[in-house]
Amino acid sequence: MSHFSSALTRTAAALAVGAGLAWGTAAHAADTIKVGILHSLSGTMAISETTLKDVMLMLIEQQNEAGGVLGKQLEAVVVDPASDWPLFAEKARELISNDKVAVVFGCWTSVSRKSVLPVFEELNSLLFYPVQYEGEESSKNVFYTGAAPNQQAVPAVDYLMKEAEVERWVLAGTDYVYPRTTNKILEAYLKAKGVAEEDIMINYTPFGHSDWQTIVASIKEFASAGKKTAVVSTINGDANVPFYKELANQGIKAEDIPVVAFSVGEEELAGLDTAPLVGHLAAWNYFQSVESDENDAFVEAWKAYTKNPDRVSNDPMEAHVIGFKMWVQAVEKAGTTDTDAVADAMIGISVPNLSGGTATMMPNHHLTKPVLIGEVQDDGQFEIVWETPGTVVGDAWSDYLPGSKDLISDWRKPMSCGNFNVATGKCGGQGE
């Protein structure tokens, strides 16, 4: 619904109340089911998040053309938290309390998800979170449709260890919770595999970091010890552009020091000169280059919707496609948009993913996913060089962190616990 249409609706509602027809506004309020879209459309994360807003609008339009949900049309409510983490919580509260949305699809960074989490739990609303993250969390109010570390980070390191015989590791990330926790898991995993501490270099930079000369020089020096070295990158947002440029400036090629990225997909590459990136890697659960009937149909619909043959698809978009389809099924199954009823109905729902397989929502609110490693091509697409033989179940709690290895998450009744300790037989409480 356009802002103009919304304004007319609000005016009509106000006139109805003024005429003593309060029942008319109540009836009108029930005419649509509101869907919140909480993605940064400005600031450092706009490079990644704007496309997620666009794909949600496409999915909602498609669903409305197919008859809506429960016989009602869906109405998108779009807000811009502007890459401002506290503003995410404020916008989430507005969506739930003021706009009365039935569900929210949103966030990219873990710091934005952490910001909104208490709001969703307090107001008992649902968030579908579409981006790979660090794990170590399970909330009854969140469905994590992106990858957990065992569905992206750990398999990527395994791949480099076995296929590229990497012995030295640079863990480079943006300075916030996702890179720090992911790297804590990876550091523990590498040490468990016999990697010495001196063969692990860890570096963090702020959001939007632009001066990479010194850091890239130190990576180059670290790699000069005579052991095969790789960079595992959890650098987020627009900082990736100058990072890869500086690698090229200092003559670092993929065959010398491969970079495997967890936050660089087709959308980010669309803004880069890809020549210096050719041969570098990314680990995701979907690439646009996947060959399947489902993917062909999706990419064709996406290009038609955007009226732009150059628009690309990427992994977090697929996560929104899966999450949205699951939410629609759960609402239809529950016969209501009530949060608790929909949350219960979500567990066990399966829908096609875009790579020709099936995604299933598990009791820990994580999906089953294939893991893919892609190599950057000069056209900005990825050639898939490795994939798991089947899907991997997302693990909310890492097996490699001492405080987490005994925890499981299961939101089915009667357990209904996000962090049940199998050693003590006790639940630690919601979302901890």
CATH code of the domain covering residue 11: 3.40.50.2300
Contacts of 22 (CB under 8 A, 6+ apart): 16
d(CA 103, CA 141): 10
Instruction: Clarify whether residues 378 and 235 are in a common domain.
Output: yes
130 and 28 together in one domain: yes
300 and 240 in a common domain = no
Q: Which of 87-96, 293-302, 340-349, 422-431 has the lowest mean pLDDT?
A: 422-431
Residue 105 inside a domain? The answer is yes
- C-alpha 378/C-alpha 275 separation (Å) is 6
Are 115 and 142 contacting, i.e. CB atoms less than 8 angstroms apart?
no
Q: What is the pLDDT of residue 277?
A: 86
Predicted pLDDT of residue 237: 81
Summarize the confidence of residues 150-171 as an average pLDDT. 96
Average pLDDT along the chain: 91
Question: What is the mean predicted confidence (pLDDT) over 4-20?
Answer: 37
Query: 121 and 431 in contact (C-beta within 8 Å)?
Result: yes
286 and 160 assigned to the same domain: yes
Asked if residue 124 is part of any domain, the answer here is yes
User: How many structural domains is the chain composed of?
Assistant: 2
pLDDT bucket at 30, cuts 50 / 70 / 90: low
Other Cβ atoms within 10 Å of 323 Cβ, number: 27
**pLDDT at residue 38 tops 90:** yes
In this prediction, residue 148 has a pLDDT band, given cuts at 50, 70 and 90, of: very high
172 and 202, same domain (yes or no): yes
Q: Give the confidence band of 47 by pLDDT, cuts at 50, 70, 90.
A: confident
Q: Are residues 73 and 91 in the same domain?
A: yes
The yes-or-no verdict on residue 26 having pLDDT over 60 is no
Q: Are 378 and 409 in contact (CB under 8 A)?
A: no
Q: Quick one: tokens of 35?
A: 């869907």
CA distance 243 to 217: 12
Same domain, 56 and 70: yes
**Same domain, yes or no, for 255 and 388?**
yes
Q: 132 and 65, same structural domain?
A: yes
Instruction: Name the pLDDT band for 40 (thresholds 50, 70, 90).
Output: very high
Tell me: the pLDDT tens digits for 361-404? 999 999 999 999 999 999 999 999 999 999 999 999 999 998 89
Structural domain harbouring 94 = 3-147+293-367
Residue 349 forms part of a structural domain? yes
- 189 located within any domain: yes
| Backbone angle region of 53, left / alpha / beta, with phi > 0 → left and psi within -120 to 50 → alpha | alpha
Pairing of strands 103-106, 32-38: parallel
84 and 18 inside one domain? yes
Written as six digits, the tokens of 170 are 């640079």
Q: Does residue 226 sit in the same domain as residue 114?
A: no
| Count of alpha carbons within 13 angstroms of residue 264, beta-carbon side | 31
Q: Which residue has the higher pLDDT, 145 or 403?
A: 145
* pTM (two decimals): 0.88
- Tens of pLDDT along 169-226? 999 999 999 999 999 999 999 999 999 999 999 999 999 999 999 999 999 999 999 9
Residue 326's Cα: distance from chain center in Å?
16
Q: pLDDT value at position 238?
A: 83
Both 180 and 281 in one domain: the answer is: yes
The verdict on residue 126 lying in a domain is: yes
Per-residue pLDDT at 429 exceeds 70: no
| Percentage of the chain lying above the pLDDT 90 cut | 84
Whether residue 304 lies inside any domain: the answer is: yes
239 found inside a domain: yes
User: How many angstroms separate the Cα of 97 from the Cα of each of 91, 200, 368?
Assistant: 10, 47, 32
Q: Rounded CA gap, 327 and 50, in Å?
A: 21
